[in-house]
Amino acid sequence: MVKDNKINLDELWEIPDFLGELLGQYKQKDDDKFYEKDNNTLLSGEFTLDKKYSNGNTVLRIKLANGELKESTFFYPTGEVLQCDGWENGYCASSEQFHFNEKTSKIENYKEGLITSSKHFNENGEKEAEYNYKKDDVLDIKDIPNSLTTPLLIKGWLENGWEE
């Protein structure tokens, strides 16, 4: 028997999959598109996760067009945008994370779901770091993807509340 030495960090760190939770509410067919309950009409429009912050504000909103995910937006408990992702052909193509003061914190670019570059900015909007990756590059430990940080932040706010 072959042993598997892969570690699932999402499971190990108990990282919630808010996007998967929301998309899981809709019928996805073999063509990877999302459909209305009648299974014939492609989903289009904006949809929000049922899970809310204690003040009633939205955690996550997505936009679908012709059954395809086009955008996902995560929010701070106050309602400001925390992260906005652009999607193409079922893959994340870009991700922008924001400081609480609404200035860009990090921009990530992807190709077929794999990160190709990221830029980090301080709260004044000045670039602090930049990382570029090729096919065989390993992520720099200082370049923690938005897909890890955002769900952990939101999990903490849902469990412990929000403090400015």
Q: Facing residues of 87 across strands?
A: 92
> Is 85 in contact with 94 (CB distance < 8 Å)?
yes
Burial 35-62 (b: 16+ CB within 10 A, else e): beeeeeeebeeebebeeebeeeebbbbb
CA distance 39 to 12: 35
Give a yes or no: residue 1 inside a domain: no
pTM (2 d.p.): 0.84
Does a structural domain hold residue 164? Answer: no
Do the strands 27-28 and 114-121 form a parallel or antiparallel pair, or are they unpaired?
unpaired
Domain-embedded: residue 3: no
Q: One-letter amino acid identity for 24?
A: G
Strand partners, 109: 94, 117
In a domain, 4, yes or no: no
Range of the domain at 139: 9-159
Per-residue pLDDT 10s for the chain (164 aa) are 333 444 444 555 678 999 999 998 888 888 889 998 777 889 999 999 999 999 999 999 999 999 999 999 999 999 999 999 999 998 999 999 999 999 999 999 999 888 899 999 999 999 999 998 886 666 666 778 888 888 889 999 998 888 76
Please count the structural domains in the chain. 1
What is the domain-level CATH number for residue 83?
Answer: 3.90.930
